[in-house]
Amino acid sequence: MSKKMLFEVKDGESIGDCLDRMKDQGYMPVRRMEKPVFEEQGKETYVPVKQTIVFEGKKIEE
């Protein structure tokens, strides 16, 4: 198992659900990142559609 892992908040999932999933797998959050998702409209036009939240988790040492 790696010491760090990325967890993305899925569509229809709350942030709390994602944090619970991390805890169940033995990770604790150390960093939160937000990444925009763009949709192409036309040749060179990009429009932001939504923003995804990604947590970086560190393995809990016991």
Query: Domain residue spans in the chain?
Result: 4-59
What local confidence, expressed as pLDDT, does residue 43 receive? Answer: 85
Q: Is the pLDDT of residue 1 over 60?
A: no
What local confidence, expressed as pLDDT, does residue 31 receive? Answer: 96
What local confidence, expressed as pLDDT, does residue 14 receive? Answer: 95
Do 30 and 58 contact (CB within 8 A), yes or no?
Answer: yes
Comparison of pLDDT for 61 and 58, the residue scoring more: 58
Task: Give 19-22 contacts, CB < 8 A, sequence gap 24+.
Answer: 19/55, 22/55, 22/57
What local confidence, expressed as pLDDT, does residue 6 receive? Answer: 95
Overall average pLDDT of the 27-56 stretch: 93
Query: Confidence class of residue 62 from pLDDT cuts 50, 70 and 90?
Result: low
